[in-house]
Structure 1
Amino acid sequence: MKTISNSGAFTNFYDNNRIYIDKTETIYKLLMTQDKVFISRPRRFGKTLTLKTIGTLFEKGVDPYFKDTWIYDKWTDPTCPVLYLDFLKCSVSDIDDFKEDLVELISVFANTYNIEGYKESSEPQRALNRLLTLLELKNYKVVVLIDEYDRQLVANINNPELYEKFCEIIRSIYATLKSCDSIKFLAVTGVTRLKDATIFSVGSDIVDISNKSAYSQLIGFTRDEIKTFYIDYLKLAASYDNNVSVDRVTDTQINTMLDKIAYNYDGYCFDENCVKKVFSSWSVNNFFKDIESNGYIQFGDYWYDNGGLPSIIAKSIEKQEIIPFEYLNKDHLIEVSRNSFLNPTSLLDIDNNVLLCQTGYLTLRSPLSSGDSIISLGFPNREVYDSLTQLMAIKALKKETSVNVDGKNILDEGNAKQIIDLFNTALNTVSYDKFPLNSESSVQGYICIYLKAAGAKVSAEVHSSKGRADLVIERLNRRIVIELKYADSDPLAKTKLNEAIEQIKNRDYGNVLPQKELIRIAAVYNADPHVRAIREYQQVE
């Protein structure tokens, strides 16, 4: 069984007999139809690997690294030099150091290929211009690959002065690259798409393919690719999941395992038509690696754990520019204007939801090609939803919370009264002037935020075949279902309680697979200023 690698070096896949998801058919289409391109993708999605694959193809040809790939017997172009500018290797905190790092990358290339007449400059745009001019005079062609162009910008979102200085340098670099005859092919990658970096103005001959349907699955894994290239690991996972030997795993069991992997790691859409989707390659790779090493199934939060919450998002939550309650319903669509999505100007004033989308926490949920003035975004999968809302909760409350009372985990061991007491404790911490509990959804949202900050797996508005439960808390051996109502007086609270009880019974909330101990509670929040608590409640059998 081949090993799995998250390495960005394409040659490692051949040298170390590792699994490579063959993207060369799409790469071939890209190279045959485009000259200069930009593509944005979230971190840990495979941008670097894609650039390294293209670089290896141009620099070394198809032998031996592309043996057994789609492109092997189709690529006939002669080899040529590749200038690889990795902004991850350049300083993010000092302009002079950044310039020096970038100039060094350019000079190493010039020395490696013995570019006669090249002289080093302290300014990277001058060094690059001299290099490209010399190549053009000698009728040489070069491939230029720029990885993570926005690394310095993202690192300085809280330092506007330094941010603008980095912008100036980046603008000058793309001005140098514009309409340069010595460039055979140019590709630029980054997390964000920003007008102030002028990739799309000064460097207007660079085509943005970030949401082009033809290239929407170039980075990330498709379901068919996982089933084809990871079949041995899928069988291993299905064998653990069904407690059977690998040789007895059925195709149905494999597809069921793929469904579970999709629920956790699929759902990213970079397709202008909002049809094609991809899995997080980082998460899938680490999921399979953990199965092989641990010997059991565990759907970890790999992609999120690798990077956490961007500081600009954390800052927006603390300033209440982002309200965590708006993100609690994982099926809720978030709307942004078409212009703010397609034409973000700067990280300093970008729409927060557009930034969440560019960084991978939200994804497309409506076509860009429709021409509508509004674009819908949503959560891609369970991994992102659980992780982001939990961290949002901690930022909103400015502390971690707990579901333990006197050493007892109330969600795992508590009865209905103890669970409701825990909820009332949570509601008592609300700053009423900041987050008034004036509706059913606000009460539901605050309980959800509190539990998420405590690390509990809780979901709001959970759909089933018969209806939608307000709150569902999943524990290892227990499922807690809450049907919550809102009232502003004692008489109304009693009426609402009966409604909640009947709703649970008629719609049989929580009776789904996998079967667990089921605790179903009808509850009413009494908003009377003298009460402001859940006083009326009943466990429903």
Structure 2
Amino acid sequence: MLRKYPIGLQSFRKIREDGYIYIDKTEIIYQLVTTGVYYFLSRPRRFGKSLLLDTIEELFKGNKALFEGLWIYDKWDWSKTHPVIHFNFADLGVRTEGLEAAIHRGLADNAAQLGIQLSDFSYDQQFKELIVKASTTHGQVVILIDEYDKPLIDYLDDPAKLEAHRSVMKSFYSVLKGQDEHIRLLLLTGVSRFSKVSLFSDLNHLEDITLGRQFNPLVGITQPELERTFAPEIEELRAADPAILETIKHWYNGYTWGGTDTLYNPFSLLNFLKSREFQNYWFQTGTPAFFYDMIRRNPRLEFPSGEVLVGPESLNDLLGHSVAYGGPDSIEPVTILFQTGYLTVKDYDAKTRIYTLDFPNLEVRESMQVFLLSAYSYETSGKVRPNVLRLLQAFRAGDIKQVMTLVDTLFSHIPNTLWAGAKEQFYHAIIQNTFGLLDVMMESDRNYAATRPDITVFTPTHIYVLEFKLDQPAETALNQIIEKDYFRPFQSDGRKKVAIGVRFSSEKKAVEAYLVRDVGP
């Protein structure tokens, strides 16, 4: 019998009634809804936030049959139900109707489902009226707000519209203050962590559960959940590859927000288990649209190529204090990368309150390098990987002339006007991301680019060390490799070692000269 994978499904009812695989999260959901009232959770897209909210809605509506066989089934008081007010700002038609009109429609839909007539006119007072009437008629209200930040994220490149939307959302959420007697549970989810000052100043009792151990595995898939829930698939895959679990983990695991459990992105993992092919599934749906333009407008932005240390301020607020002024160019790249899922927490020092961030896994690292290389080189993402593959083939063939020709092509699509103003930034970004992606494609576990020479490339027969100099002699680059003994870490390696010094001309936007020297076996 073929198993059904709930790829992209956000309806708990459909998953349960139509026989899709469901990873039982009801024990941790029980902990959430029985130990607090006001919550906020930030997670990247495609991580299961919408399914979480839908599951909680079915729970409080008392739909017991849907939970048969799950942990919570015999532990929940099904005789007590609560009215649910559920907003998903991804589905309200904000772009086509406008934010205020979309909120009015969402309020009307919720009121109709609860059999309530609304008499107020303004969206904030209608929201308050809906809460009070629902509570008075049916009992304390459960309020679930999904993609709370979409009306803001979608307008990061329009500061005026962004500020207008922020003002509307602030007024909308301010209604929740002082409604304790009417609210059983409030849970807001989104991608970003806008500060309480900028958006939730009136909702200062909102508990942010984004970072920390207790609710780290609330969404996402843990290693034990993978091995338990997908045991038939794992057994079948192991027959062909005994090390398949480690490979899957290397590709798709590694997310964490302060807990001990590392997590899989459900979208990527489910797609792999269905197709049985290692691919970058999450990239096309997880990247904010404004990101490309932001990078190209401001090529001086610096993006980490590995571990980065940050304080909590870099994780707390997508827009910082410039939400009304700066637009996307004012956002820290590390903040964007963390909140969109490209970076995750690898370590936290409680004494210094310093977080160590890094790419969670191979899928994300490779996706990020493809993305940045495409943005900086003005090449389509579909051509980036084939170009790097040709570079790999040239290295393996020992064809250094072809390597340099291919390096030249990396810069050919950059508009001259932009190159003239930001040549240093484009130059370094393209070189680092190209060879970083090359390193991934070669499955090399040794990358010395950050600590020693510009680039180290390993093939089955050779170790190449490359030093690039912008508008400086190739001799200078080559001598630096020799004088600083960049091959020292590889003395015991029997492969042939080759030093390559490269002069790149900013005027010609091309490799102007290069020197090659064999330095021994």
TM-score by length of 1: 0.79
Structure 1 residues 302-348: Cα deviation after superposition (integer angstroms, max 9, x where no partner): 0102244541464135312423xx53x4xx32233332323544654
d(CA) in 1 for partners of 2:26 and 2:112?
31
Given candidates 422, 431, 454, the residue that maps to 1:447 is 431
What is the total number of aligned residue pairs between the two structures? 491
d(CA) in 2 for partners of 1:491 and 1:267?
41
Which residue of the partner structure matches residue 335 of structure 1?
A: 309
CA change 1:299–1:120 in 2 (3 A) is farther
d(CA) in 2 for partners of 1:189 and 1:403?
34
Counterpart secondary structure, 1:366? strand
Q: Residue 146 of structure 1 contacts residue 188 of structure 1 at CA under 8 Å; is this kept in 2?
A: yes
d(CA) in 1 for partners of 2:186 and 2:411?
58
Q: Which moved more, 1:531-540 or 1:48-57?
A: 531-540
Which residue of the partner structure matches residue 300 of structure 1?
A: 279
Q: Residue 459 of structure 1 contacts residue 472 of structure 1 at CA under 8 Å; is this kept in 2?
A: no
Structure 1 residues 519-538: Cα deviation after superposition (integer angstroms, max 9, x where no partner): 86432336899996321244
- 1:227-376 superposed matches below 5 A: 227-240=227-240, 242=241, 253=242, 256-271=243-258, 275-291=260-276, 298-312=277-291, 314-323=293-302, 326-327=303-304, 329=305, 332-343=306-317, 344-345=320-321, 348=327, 349-367=330-348, 370-372=350-352, 374-376=354-356
What fraction of aligned residue pairs are identical, expressed as a percent?
23
d(CA) in 2 for partners of 1:145 and 1:162?
25
Counterpart secondary structure, 1:49? helix
Which residue of the partner structure matches residue 500 of structure 2?
A: 523
CA change 1:3–1:139 in 2 (3 A) is closer
Displacement of 1:489 in angstroms is 6.7
Which residue of the partner structure matches residue 156 of structure 2?
A: 157
Which residue of the partner structure matches residue 50 of structure 2?
A: 48
Letter in 2 for 1:107: A
Letter in 2 for 1:523: I
Q: Residue 474 of structure 2 contacts residue 502 of structure 2 at CA under 8 Å; is this kept in 1?
A: no
d(CA) in 2 for partners of 1:424 and 1:113?
63
d(CA) in 1 for partners of 2:432 and 2:106?
50
Letter in 2 for 1:356: L
Which residue of the partner structure matches residue 483 of structure 1?
A: 465
CA change 1:534–1:169 in 2 (3 A) is same
Matching of residue 508 in structure 1 with residue 479 in structure 2: no
d(CA) in 1 for partners of 2:46 and 2:502?
43
Given candidates 475, 478, 501, the residue that maps to 1:493 is 478
CA change 1:471–1:32 in 2 (3 A) is same
In structure 1, stretches of 5+ residues that fail to align are: 243-252, 292-297, 512-518
CA change 1:399–1:480 in 2 (3 A) is farther
d(CA) in 2 for partners of 1:373 and 1:386?
29
Which residue of the partner structure matches residue 210 of structure 2?
A: 210
d(CA) in 2 for partners of 1:492 and 1:162?
49
Counterpart secondary structure, 2:57? helix
CA change 1:526–1:89 in 2 (3 A) is closer
Which residue of the partner structure matches residue 391 of structure 1?
A: 371
Displacement of 1:374 in angstroms is 3.9
CA change 1:346–1:285 in 2 (3 A) is farther
Structure 1 residues 28-50: Cα deviation after superposition (integer angstroms, max 9, x where no partner): 11111011111000000000011
Letter in 1 for 2:501: V
Matching of residue 421 in structure 1 with residue 386 in structure 2: no
d(CA) in 1 for partners of 2:355 and 2:145?
29
d(CA) in 2 for partners of 1:502 and 1:101?
62
d(CA) in 2 for partners of 1:140 and 1:28?
20
Matching of residue 411 in structure 1 with residue 392 in structure 2: yes
Q: Residue 474 of structure 2 contacts residue 515 of structure 2 at CA under 8 Å; is this kept in 1?
A: no
Counterpart secondary structure, 2:105? helix
Letter in 2 for 1:301: N
- 1:188-227 superposed matches below 5 A: 188-195=188-195, 200-227=200-227
Which residue of the partner structure matches residue 22 of structure 2?
A: 20
Displacement of 1:418 in angstroms is 3.4
d(CA) in 2 for partners of 1:65 and 1:500?
66
Q: Which moved more, 1:202-211 or 1:192-201?
A: 192-201
Displacement of 1:395 in angstroms is 1.3
Q: Which moved more, 1:75-84 or 1:377-386?
A: 75-84
Q: Residue 45 of structure 2 contacts residue 285 of structure 2 at CA under 8 Å; is this kept in 1?
A: no
Q: Residue 391 of structure 2 contacts residue 406 of structure 2 at CA under 8 Å; is this kept in 1?
A: no
Structure 1 residues 191-216: Cα deviation after superposition (integer angstroms, max 9, x where no partner): 00102785542111221111131001
Q: Residue 338 of structure 1 contacts residue 372 of structure 1 at CA under 8 Å; is this kept in 2?
A: no
Counterpart secondary structure, 1:65? helix
d(CA) in 2 for partners of 1:472 and 1:204?
52
Counterpart secondary structure, 2:205? coil
Letter in 2 for 1:462: R
Which residue of the partner structure matches residue 79 of structure 1?
A: 81
Q: Kindly report the root-mean-square deviation, in angstroms, between the aligned alpha carbons of the 2 structures.
A: 3.8
Q: Residue 497 of structure 1 contacts residue 523 of structure 1 at CA under 8 Å; is this kept in 2?
A: no
CA change 1:23–1:520 in 2 (3 A) is farther
Counterpart secondary structure, 2:369? helix
Counterpart secondary structure, 1:187? strand
Displacement of 1:142 in angstroms is 1.7
Letter in 1 for 2:308: I
Displacement of 1:56 in angstroms is 0.7
Letter in 1 for 2:284: D
Counterpart secondary structure, 2:61? helix
Displacement of 1:436 in angstroms is 4.7
Counterpart secondary structure, 2:515? strand
Letter in 2 for 1:114: G
TM-score by length of 2: 0.82
Q: Residue 25 of structure 1 contacts residue 71 of structure 1 at CA under 8 Å; is this kept in 2?
A: yes
d(CA) in 2 for partners of 1:84 and 1:313?
33
d(CA) in 2 for partners of 1:494 and 1:373?
42
d(CA) in 2 for partners of 1:203 and 1:179?
9
Letter in 2 for 1:381: N
d(CA) in 1 for partners of 2:386 and 2:315?
43
CA change 1:263–1:339 in 2 (3 A) is same
d(CA) in 2 for partners of 1:527 and 1:113?
68
Displacement of 1:237 in angstroms is 2.4
d(CA) in 2 for partners of 1:403 and 1:76?
54
d(CA) in 2 for partners of 1:491 and 1:84?
64
Q: Residue 485 of structure 1 contacts residue 497 of structure 1 at CA under 8 Å; is this kept in 2?
A: no
Counterpart secondary structure, 2:465? strand
Structure 1 residues 402-436: Cα deviation after superposition (integer angstroms, max 9, x where no partner): 7989xx94533643333443366358869587445
Letter in 1 for 2:332: D
d(CA) in 1 for partners of 2:34 and 2:518?
67
Structure 1 residues 487-538: Cα deviation after superposition (integer angstroms, max 9, x where no partner): 85749836845987964862428x8xxxxxxx86432336899996321244
Q: Which moved more, 1:408-417 or 1:345-354?
A: 408-417
Letter in 2 for 1:303: W
Letter in 1 for 2:431: I
Which residue of the partner structure matches residue 294 of structure 1?
A: none
d(CA) in 1 for partners of 2:212 and 2:476?
58
Matching of residue 114 in structure 1 with residue 91 in structure 2: no
Q: Which moved more, 1:352-361 or 1:127-136?
A: 127-136
Counterpart secondary structure, 2:39? strand
In structure 2, stretches of 5+ residues that fail to align are: none
Which residue of the partner structure matches residue 33 of structure 2?
A: 31
Displacement of 1:146 in angstroms is 0.5
CA change 1:398–1:75 in 2 (3 A) is same
Q: Residue 501 of structure 1 contacts residue 522 of structure 1 at CA under 8 Å; is this kept in 2?
A: no
Structure 1 residues 245-302: Cα deviation after superposition (integer angstroms, max 9, x where no partner): xxxxxxxx2xx3221111111111111xx533211111001001112xxxxxx21100
